[in-house]
Amino acid sequence: MSGEIKEIKKSFKTLSEAWASRCELSPTHTFLIEDGRRITYDEMDELTRKFIRFFDKVGVHARDIVVIQLPTSLLSIKLIITCFKLNVVVMPISVRLDTKEFQDILTSVNPKLVILSSNVLANYLTSGGNFGSYEGYVLPELCKTVEKVHYFISSQPKLTMLPPDIAAILATSGTTGTPKGVLLSQENILYSETGFVHTFEIDQNDVLLLSLPVNHAIGFHHGIVSTILSGSCCVILESYDPKACLQLIKKYHCTYTLSVPTTAYDLFQATSEDGFLEKIICGGSPISRQLLNESVQRHVPIYNVYGTTESVPFICTTPAYFKAKHGTTAGFPIQGVMVKLLDKQGQEIRDMNHSGEIVVKGPMVFKGYFNNPTATAEVLSKDGWFYTGDLAHYNQDGAIKVDGRINDIIMRGGENISAVLVEKFVLAYPKIQQVAAIGLKDERLGERIGICVIPVYPNQPLTLNEIKSFLAKKEVLKKYWPERLIICDRFPMTDSGKVRKKTLKQHLDAYIRPNIKHIDMR
């Protein structure tokens, strides 16, 4: 990386302006590294010009919607930046969608252009998917990849009414229902990432390892946009693998990575080296106390970020607060954002240790769900407050500690038990790496508390009785004690690192660890 790099001092109205300014300030600085190939900001700008000509040829213009279903790669990022430059609305989607989920997006969003890999296309076609009125082609030679890439252009375009400043549509994770298209404006994205870069002091000397998908808010916002705003460098890895991650970290002197708790855990397990990164910025799901302790002991701080696809991110654990507390997931709102905690009656909570729903108002709050005014009205008030559906409380310092989802409950004998609290108590047991609390049907009580766990030590026995003994010593109320223990070797996960509990419950046998003959009910 060469050349004098300057920080972006001014604010921008569009991502196109931000990209143009970065190319002017940092033309010879390395923007991306993939498979040993370094791409400067100026070279990336030149590469996107070819896609601009392609977009013009197929009739894609400003405010049209382009769906991209590709893994994290030079190609997917080139296409995203092309959309930024042309003010085209980009919608990156997961490569792990099933055929029905993809068909729903195709029919509901009605994109002008769809770009996807041949492997993904083959899966759709063999499982009965069809593209209706879309005409399919192989992407021309300007796309040099081992695997063929296809594009489908709408032959019967429909008028799509979007607010004029929409830059992207990201899909929610779908853990609480059908995924919804989140409309994000230019301001939404630029404001959140300006705050992100400032909070974590990211600059042109930083090198990010990005192994998360760009269809998720962490990869899209913190991976691509924050790199542009800070003028830093991004090393991309298409398929996550902890050993490959560590090799790239060492080879390119990466200073930080973005992760979900599972991938952060994997990194610590895959190396004995302390201080292998300056920091890990983590979101998506709760960070265990065990993982926090290891991060402190190994001198690799894990900074928690909280947000949703609809508002990314707005509560962050600052480096100074993390250091002062010797590891914590509590944090504070970014500058210019208003956050409240509301009780069940809608009254604001100001006292510490009283849980309430997180509501937020600020420039990074989304503009609504695509073609879904009913769902929008349920969570977004007319005066701009977004009701997240997540619970949190203030700690003794006035920092906000996220507790979990409001509706993640187990209905046992007429009492609503928080699955998140069950998970929190059980995860404190040192022999448990991951846990998902679910309601298991019971003729008498309606549901009993079941815990699906992935042990830290797969070859060592783990029983329900020893977990209960641990909870008793910790004086955890008995109503939070699990009644069924299910040992699993993996969980069905979203791209954001959340457990797909609906899938887990429906197909439980598929995730039980081999050679486990029974479910522990003792």
Which H, E and C letters describe 227-288, residue by residue?
HHHHCCEEEECCCCCHHHHHHHHHHHCCCEEEECHHHHHHHHHHCCCCCCCCEEEECCCCCC
pLDDT in tens, 364-384: 999 999 999 999 999 999 999
Which of the four pLDDT bands, split at 50, 70 and 90, describes residue 447?
A: confident
Q: Which residue type does 35 have?
A: D
Q: Which two tokens stand for residue 12?
A: 């921008």
pLDDT value at residue 123: 85
d(CA 338, CA 303): 21
E-state strands within 292-414: 302-308, 311-316, 332-333, 338-342, 356-361, 386-394, 400-405, 409-412
Reported for 130-133, long-range contacts at CB under 8 A and 24+ positions apart, including other chains, are 130/103, 131/106, 132/106, 132/107
E-state strands within 350-465: 356-361, 386-394, 400-405, 409-412, 415-418, 432-442, 446-455
d(CA 272, CA 267): 10
Taking the mean position of all CA atoms in its chain, how far away is CA 102?
19
The CATH code belonging to domain 409-510 is: 3.30.300.30
pLDDT value at residue 175: 53
pLDDT value at residue 5: 33
Q: Identify the residue with better confidence: 462 or 140.
A: 462
d(CA 428, CA 467): 10
pLDDT in tens, 313-364: 899 999 999 999 999 999 999 989 999 999 989 999 999 999 999 999 999 9
Other residues' Cβ atoms within 10 Å of the Cβ of residue 288: 21
Q: Which residue type does 99 have?
A: T
pLDDT value at residue 349: 96
The DSSP-derived string for 153-201 is EESS-------TTEEEEEE---TTSS--EEEEEHHHHHHHHHHHHHHTT
d(CA 202, CA 281): 11
Residue 334 makes CB contacts below 8 A (sequence gap 6+) with 192, 195, 196, 198, 199, 313, 314, 315, 316
Which of the four pLDDT bands, split at 50, 70 and 90, describes residue 179?
A: confident
d(CA 78, CA 143): 10
Q: Position of tokens 């600020």? A: 362
Q: State the average pLDDT over residues 3-15.
A: 59
Q: Which range is most confident: 99-113, 141-155, 410-424?
A: 99-113
Which of the four pLDDT bands, split at 50, 70 and 90, describes residue 470?
A: very high
- For residue 1, the 8-state DSSP code is -
pLDDT value at residue 145: 60
Q: State the average pLDDT over residues 298-325.
A: 95
233 has a pLDDT exceeding 50:
yes
Q: Is the dihedral of CA 360, 362, 367, 373 positive or negative?
A: positive
Residue ranges covered by each domain of the chain: 11-308, 409-510
Q: State the average pLDDT over residues 24-36.
A: 97
9 has a pLDDT exceeding 50:
no
Q: State the average pLDDT over residues 288-304.
A: 93
d(CA 426, CA 56): 55
Indicate the fold that domain 11-308 takes in CATH: Rossmann fold (3.40.50)
d(CA 278, CA 508): 39
Q: State the average pLDDT over residues 294-312.
A: 95
Q: Which residue type does 77 have?
A: I
d(CA 208, CA 196): 14
Q: Rounded to two decimals, what is the model's pTM? A: 0.83
d(CA 22, CA 161): 31
d(CA 25, CA 274): 35
Q: Identify the residue with better confidence: 285 or 264.
A: 264
pLDDT in tens, 353-364: 999 999 999 999
User: Which of 13-17, 158-162, 230-234, 301-305 bottoms out in mean pLDDT, i.e. has the lowest?
Assistant: 158-162
Burial class of residue 275 (count of CB atoms within 10 Å of its CB; 0-12, 13-18, 19+): exposed
pLDDT value at residue 251: 97
pLDDT value at residue 159: 66
Maximum pairwise Cα distance, the chain: 71
d(CA 151, CA 69): 10
Q: Which two tokens stand for residue 102?
A: 């993809």
Tell how many helices (H) and how many strands (E) occur in the chain: 16, 25
Q: Position of tokens 């001198």? A: 299
d(CA 135, CA 139): 12
Query: pLDDT exceeding 90 applies to what percent of the chain?
Result: 66
169 has a pLDDT exceeding 70:
yes
3 has a pLDDT exceeding 50:
no
What 3-state DSSP class applies to 204? coil
Which of the four pLDDT bands, split at 50, 70 and 90, describes residue 129?
A: confident
d(CA 373, CA 351): 34
pLDDT value at residue 521: 52
pLDDT in tens, 57-107: 999 999 999 999 999 999 999 999 999 999 999 999 998 888 888 888 888
Angle at 251 between CA 23 and CA 298, to 5 degrees: 110
Helix H or strand E encompassing 91: strand 89-92
What 3-state DSSP class applies to 100? helix
d(CA 469, CA 481): 10
505 has a pLDDT exceeding 90:
no
What 3-state DSSP class applies to 506? helix
What 3-state DSSP class applies to 500? coil
d(CA 167, CA 374): 22
19 has a pLDDT exceeding 50:
yes
Mean pLDDT of the chain, nearest integer: 89
Which of the four pLDDT bands, split at 50, 70 and 90, describes residue 1?
A: very low
6 has a pLDDT exceeding 50:
no
